Structures are given as C-alpha cells and as structure tokens.
C-alpha cells in the first residue's frame, strides 16, 4: 500500500466484527510495519505490554543465531515458479509423451501432437495464479507482483518446460514446428485474456473442453485433420496470438481479481 489507509479502513481493521476483504487486511498490515503514524492511530491501552513484548523480541533476535544466507538462485526460482504447478506440468508432459507413443504405434493416425499442442500448456497455466492451487497466495495477494505480473512469470516458467517438450515431440512425429508452437501460444494468451473475466482456472477448463469437443473428438472419429490445423493456417494462429496478448495487456487491472475469482 503506497498511501496511508483512511481512518475508516483503520477503524474497520481494528474492529474484529467488521467485514474487511483479506487483500485489504494484508495491505494494511504491510503498511503498518513501516508507518509509525498509522500505528499510532491504532493505539490501545495495551501499549506498555506490546512495548515489552517488542523489546523482548528485539533482544531475542539480536542475541540469537545468525540467519542462513539466502541463495539468489533460490529466490529467483520462487519468483518465477510455484511448486504447486509441478503436478500440472507433469500432466502436460505425460500427455505429449502418450501422443508420441500412440503416433509411433499408429503411424497413419492424424498427428496427435498437433491436436494436443493448443491444450498442452493449459493445466500448468490454470495452476499458475489460482487461490485453490497456490498455498502461498495470501502472502502474494497484497504485493505489487500480484495479478498479471505473477501470472506472466509463472506462465513463462511453465512454457520454458512445455515448449521444449512440444518441440521434441513434434520432431519425433514429424509435426511442423510452427503448427505445434503457434496454437500452443495462442491458447496460452487466450487463457490469460479470458481469465481476466472469469478466472484463469475456468478459462483454461473452458478452452480445453471446447477444443476437445470441437476439434479433437471429430478428428479421432473421422481420422481427418481439421482445417484449423492445416499448415496454411500458421499466419492466422500468429495473428490470434498477438491480438489475444494485446487484449490480456489491456485487462491487466482486472487480473488482480484472480485472487477471488480463480
């Protein structure tokens, strides 16, 4: 919180029975750590007790053991990756591995890697910035990195794993590189853009279900590759990716609501 909370907000924060959003509570507490004036506004009759507790804590900290040094690479890893996404990345990699195996067993079947490329990143993107899947979302909700910044970081970390795997799977099955990567990026951008309205988890689930019903299922039944995945559609996928990325950028402010809508 860069400005002082209003007296009304401080009063509601001090009142246990007041209904105050969790994000606001975290922001007020973060502000109180560095603002003596606002702490003074919350003065109670227990100040002496609080002062004694603070003195005791300061003494214990000063005389206690030194904290372990923080590794820079570990800090960077936590900024860009959340371990809760690991199961979803595993699902995506297993899906691509099964597609390669089936293609090897049934060489005449339509390229499954091409069919699965758009939905391959969706599980990991769904878990990138979601209250249900992120055990530390309360700590991040009130920070400047919340919302689109955190979502883009974690999505980039997921794509750093999925894109090489998709490239390798496409190479093994003879799938054109552009037609493997462009739909993947387009659906990732679509998930982020649609997530500003309905939440990333719902957006990923809806897009995955729509692609499965409209493209994957008919292709499996007819064994004919649909027109949307023909090589000549690569420029269309590229334009869709750029347009959806631009839409997501314009909805950056709404993506902060992912805390409550995901």
Q: pLDDT band at residue 143, thresholds of 50, 70 and 90?
A: low
Q: pLDDT band at residue 47, thresholds of 50, 70 and 90?
A: low
- Could you tell me the CA-to-CA distances from 56 to 11, 25, 66, 186 in Å, in that order? 28, 26, 17, 56
Q: Tell me what the mean pLDDT of segment 74-91 comes to.
A: 63
Which pLDDT does position 147 carry in this prediction? 66
Q: Compute the half-sphere exposure of residue 42: CA atoms within 13 Å on the CB side of its CA.
A: 20
Residue pair 155/128 in contact by the 8 Å Cβ criterion: yes
Nearest residue to 28 (alpha-carbon basis) of 141, 150, 145: 141
Instruction: State the pTM of this model.
Output: 0.61
Nearest residue to 207 (alpha-carbon basis) of 121, 82, 91: 121
Instruction: Look at 53 and 165; give whichever has higher pLDDT.
Output: 165
Cα(261)–Cα(151) distance, rounded to whole angstroms?
Answer: 14
Which pLDDT does position 213 carry in this prediction? 93
Q: pLDDT band at residue 262, thresholds of 50, 70 and 90?
A: very low
Cα(99)–Cα(111) distance, rounded to whole angstroms?
Answer: 8
State the average pLDDT for the chain: 76
Residue pair 251/196 in contact by the 8 Å Cβ criterion: yes
Which pLDDT does position 46 carry in this prediction? 40
Q: pLDDT band at residue 243, thresholds of 50, 70 and 90?
A: very high
What residue segments make up the domains of the chain, in order of their start?
7-63, 82-261
Cα(38)–Cα(251) distance, rounded to whole angstroms?
Answer: 33
Q: Compute the half-sphere exposure of residue 58: CA atoms within 13 Å on the CB side of its CA.
A: 6
Share of the chain above pLDDT 90, in %: 9
Which pLDDT does position 124 carry in this prediction? 82
Alpha-helical segments (H) within the chain: 7-14, 22-32, 36-41, 47-63, 72-80, 86-105, 112-116, 122-126, 137-141, 148-173, 177-198, 200-211, 217-222, 234-250, 258-261
Instruction: Look at 68 and 202; give whichever has higher pLDDT.
Output: 202
Of the given ranges (67-76, 96-105, 191-200), which has the lowest mean pLDDT? 67-76
Cα of 162 vs its chain's centroid, Å: 15
Which pLDDT does position 138 carry in this prediction? 60
């Amino acid at each position: 919180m860069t400005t002082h909370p209003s007296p009304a907000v401080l009063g509601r924060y001090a009142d246990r029975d007041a209904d105050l959003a969790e994000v606001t509570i975290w922001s007020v507490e973060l502000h109180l750590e560095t603002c003596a004036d606002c702490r003074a506004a919350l003065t109670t009759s227990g100040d002496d007790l609080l002062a004694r507790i603070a003195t005791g804590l300061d003494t214990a900290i000063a005389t206690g053991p030194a904290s372990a040094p923080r590794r820079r690479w570990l800090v960077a890893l936590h900024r860009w990756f959340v371990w809760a996404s690991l199961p979803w990345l595993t699902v995506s990699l297993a899906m691509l591995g099964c597609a390669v195996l089936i293609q090897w067993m049934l060489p005449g079947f339509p390229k499954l890697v091409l069919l699965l490329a758009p939905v391959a990143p969706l599980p990991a993107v769904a878990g990138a910035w979601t209250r249900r899947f992120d055990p530390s979302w309360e700590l991040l909700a009130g920070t400047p990195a919340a919302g689109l910044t955190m979502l883009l970081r974690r999505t980039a970390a997921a794509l750093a794993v999925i894109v090489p795997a998709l490239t390798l799977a496409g190479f093994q099955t003879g799938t054109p590189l552009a037609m493997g990567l462009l739909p993947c990026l387009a659906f990732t951008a679509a998930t982020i853009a649609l997530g500003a309205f309905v939440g990333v988890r719902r957006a990923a689930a809806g897009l995955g279900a729509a692609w499965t019903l409209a493209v994957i299922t008919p292709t499996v039944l007819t064994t004919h590759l649909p027109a949307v995945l023909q090589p000549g559609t690569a420029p269309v996928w590229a334009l869709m990716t750029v347009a959806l990325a631009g839409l997501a950028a314009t909805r950056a402010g709404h993506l902060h609501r992912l805390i409550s809508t995901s």
